[in-house]
Structure 1
Amino acid sequence: MSATTLEPTPADVHQYDFSRLKPYQHPPESKADLPWAELVTLDLEDYHRSGGKERLAKQLEHAVHHVGFFYVKNFGLTQEQVDQQFTLAQSFFELPVEEKEKYEVNYAAADYNGWRRPGRHTQGGVKDNIEMYNFAKFTKDFEGKYQHPDLLKAHLPEIETFHRALHANVVLPLLRLFAIILQLPDEEYLSRQHTYEEKSEDHFRYMLYYPRTEEEWKNSNYGKGGGHTDLGTVTLLFRQPVAGLQILGEDNNWTYVSAQPGTITVNLADTISHLTGGWLKSSVHRVVAPPDDQRQYKRTGLLYFARPHNKTVLAPITDSPVLQKAGVQPRFDKLVTMEEWVRAKQTLQLNPEIAKKRWAEKGDGTVEVLAGFHDRRYKE
């Protein structure tokens, strides 16, 4: 028998080359007149200039204490690299379900990494329209733990480069800016809790919101009941122009986050708030129905979720003059590690039946996540 039948053909080897994948194209921007949030934009090129960190920290102070959202630009990745990740996300979501489900997440174990199918949660009798795929960090702790479809395996080097660049070029500099804002004597205090190589649950995500019919949007209250905070340190969201992301301001009003060219949208999340007794603001946000002129489009997202090491204890930092003056208090009634927090919050996020039962226990629109800390429902 000829051995040639066992050899991959050139077409097989190169079938996932970017030249053979359908390039991702953003939908057109909405022409609707929407109430846009006014957010500060940090130019990370200034970070390495003389006095740059201090200038950026001053520019950022109000945003991290009162808003919880801002933009960054000049983050060390080319537009081509960003576009390639959108193309991979699009190509992955177009794979057959029977291929994607081989890589489905372990919901019961509260493990977020892998493929999460749409339709597992129901609101107003309407199943959710969100599909996602999460990549764990590219470290020895996760080596060999997760398998990927051939499409993604062919591009793991680029995905790892992207993953590590976001951590090094955006997350760590921001943590040093937070330390300056908090007047910590050690500028590296927070960044040392977020080193890339040590075990933590950071992950990079491809995310897709499918279009809905008008009836489906109406029955789900147009997504207005989805207000939430993220569970980690910061979330990085790449620009995509389908309007829907809203933030809840201190005036208790919702405003839209616009898609600024060449930027990443950053929001602070629960963990950094736990570490500062709530002084750094974990922003409340939601994704609502797009405007009428964008309802027919899919909404594709690239996101990076940064989290501290699993062993990090989520108690307020003690040597910050800013936090001392504010008199912040712990947000848990016992010592809680990041690993415990992640498991508790993701158990609620990944298991609708458990979440439904737990939310119903008190009946006051709150749920105890862990050790006396409660999540609550937000204004619709």
Structure 2
Amino acid sequence: MSTTVTETVTSPTVDIKEKYSYDKLNAYTHPPETEADLPWSELVTLDLEDYGRPGGKERLAKQLEHAVHHVGFFYVKNFGIPHEEVDRQFTLAKNFFQLPVSEKENAADYNGWRRPGRRIMSKGIDNVEIFNFPKFTPEFAGKYNYPDLLNAHMSEIEKFQRELHANIVLPLLRLFAIILELPDEEYLVKQHTFDEKSEDHSRYMIYHPRTEQEWADANYGKGGGHTDLGTVTLLFRQPVAGLQILGEDGNWTWVSAQPGTVTVNLADTISHLTGGWLKSSVHRVVAPPEDQRSFERTGLLYFARPHNKTVLTPITDSPVLQKAGVHPRFDREVTMEEFVRAKQTMQLNPDIAAKRWAESKDGTVELLAGFRDKKYKE
């Protein structure tokens, strides 16, 4: 179950391609897995190889129903992207973060490079460095000045992003439609077409090692519980433990690195579109176990979102949602574009966010049109 993708970006010059060919880059290798005895999450693994077989979608939807309603996290495997292609993306991420600051600096808003130390966390600052690639669509063409390392491989980066959307995101949206018993299996797909304007993006991400004192100052990352703001987030296997899920029982469990899988979590938008029936998972990244704290934790992610014009009211054609009696989460019609801007105002302006949380009397802050964000148990 794979999709052929057409590349559209301009080819780099021969000199750039030669200078940054993979045989000249520092190859990425996964750090060793932890030997710590941790409370691991028990997550469903969907085998997307079954998707195209007779009755396969229905079997996968049945397997997925509990996870998307109660957990918000699961794994997928056999998604049609060769292991070598994934490894090359990790190698590009590793080499990008090793570039001098002068090459990484970028006139960016949400996309492009974001240096570590932007957010205050307890008494410390964050150790996270990020590079976001917007969707490869006309509205973003030429907007960002990428370093030569990335320009040399941009056609491959685009191909990878489009494959993630076609091979994982769209099949999952059809499974969600089946679970919701929608009369049109393509209902959610039509709100997530790649070429329509939306804020999907792929990401290279790195958590830099900290000293024990720095981890203590940052409360070991325990205050970072959050939900993502889109439809689904895809996270490629990363052996350095740190990702935790808040369960319905109020306990945090660790997400393990399963070979050959992508970890998927549901996010706010798909929850808004179902009145909360599909669960936007609460998660955080905490200090790794002691035997992994000296390693960098490199992330390779894709964030899928609906079209900017999508109105975030519960789907009316779902018998499942009708039976559950779900209600809108906003007190007026809110578009995806409005919700993204409101959420990013909090994410990208730590002073504004800190002030609003400090003024909160009940541990929640109104984000937009009556919908309130909240802080989660440490």
Q: 1:320 to 1:294 in 2, by over 3 A?
A: same
The answer (yes or no) to whether the contact 2:108–2:144 under 8 Å persists in 1 is: no
Note the C-alpha offset of 1:357.
1.6
Q: 1:327 to 1:257 in 2, by over 3 A?
A: same
Q: 1:12 to 1:339 in 2, by over 3 A?
A: closer
Alignment of 1:347-366 (within 5 A): 347-366=345-364
Partner of 2:54: 50
Alignment of 1:30-69 (within 5 A): 30-69=34-73
Note the C-alpha offset of 1:104.
4.6
Q: Distance in 2 between matches of 1:339 and 1:146?
A: 20
SS for the counterpart of 2:65 is helix
In the TM superposition, what whole-angstrom CA distance separates every residue of 1:68-92 from its partner, at most 9, and x where no partner exists?
Answer: 0000001111110000000000000
The answer (yes or no) to whether the contact 2:107–2:144 under 8 Å persists in 1 is: no
Q: 1:162 to 1:257 in 2, by over 3 A?
A: same
The answer (yes or no) to whether the contact 2:16–2:152 under 8 Å persists in 1 is: no
Select the residue among 71, 87, 91 that pairs with 1:87.
91
Q: Which amino acid aligns with 2:167?
A: N
Q: Distance in 1 between matches of 2:306 and 2:44?
A: 25
Partner of 2:196: 198
Deviates more, 1:306-315 or 1:364-373: 364-373
The answer (yes or no) to whether the contact 2:308–2:337 under 8 Å persists in 1 is: yes
Q: Which amino acid aligns with 2:368?
A: L
Partner of 1:27: 31
The answer (yes or no) to whether the contact 1:104–1:117 under 8 Å persists in 2 is: no
Note the C-alpha offset of 1:12.
5.3
Note the C-alpha offset of 1:125.
2.0
Task: Name the % identity.
Answer: 76
Q: Distance in 2 between matches of 1:332 and 1:19?
A: 52
- Scaled by the length of structure 2, the TM-score of the pair is 0.95
Select the residue among 235, 238, 255 that pairs with 1:237.
235
Note the C-alpha offset of 1:118.
0.5
Partner of 1:109: none
In the TM superposition, what whole-angstrom CA distance separates every residue of 1:21-74 from its partner, at most 9, and x where no partner exists?
Answer: 010011100000000000000000100000000000000000000000000001
SS for the counterpart of 2:108 is coil
Note the C-alpha offset of 1:183.
0.3
Q: 1:52 to 1:343 in 2, by over 3 A?
A: same
Partner of 2:146: 148
Instruction: Give the root-mean-square deviation of aligned CA atoms.
Output: 1.3
Note the C-alpha offset of 1:368.
1.0
Partner of 1:220: 218
Q: Distance in 2 between matches of 1:313 and 1:124?
A: 36
Q: Which amino acid aligns with 2:163?
A: A
SS for the counterpart of 2:93 is helix
Unaligned runs of 5+ in 1: 1-7, 107-111
Note the C-alpha offset of 1:213.
0.6
Select the residue among 268, 286, 289 that pairs with 1:288.
286
The answer (yes or no) to whether the contact 2:17–2:153 under 8 Å persists in 1 is: no
The answer (yes or no) to whether the contact 1:235–1:304 under 8 Å persists in 2 is: yes
Note the C-alpha offset of 1:235.
0.1
SS for the counterpart of 1:205 is strand
Partner of 2:114: 116
Aligned residues: 367
| 2:134 maps to 1:105 | no
Q: Distance in 2 between matches of 1:11 and 1:65?
A: 51
The answer (yes or no) to whether the contact 1:237–1:303 under 8 Å persists in 2 is: yes
- Scaled by the length of structure 1, the TM-score of the pair is 0.95
Partner of 1:4: none
Alignment of 1:3-18 (within 5 A): 13-18=17-22
The answer (yes or no) to whether the contact 2:231–2:305 under 8 Å persists in 1 is: yes
Q: Distance in 1 between matches of 2:219 and 2:309?
A: 39
Note the C-alpha offset of 1:11.
6.2
Q: 1:78 to 1:21 in 2, by over 3 A?
A: same
Note the C-alpha offset of 1:9.
11
In the TM superposition, what whole-angstrom CA distance separates every residue of 1:240-267 from its partner, at most 9, and x where no partner exists?
Answer: 1000000000000000000000000000
Q: Which amino acid aligns with 1:77?
A: I
| 2:312 maps to 1:314 | yes
Q: Distance in 1 between matches of 2:281 and 2:15?
A: 47
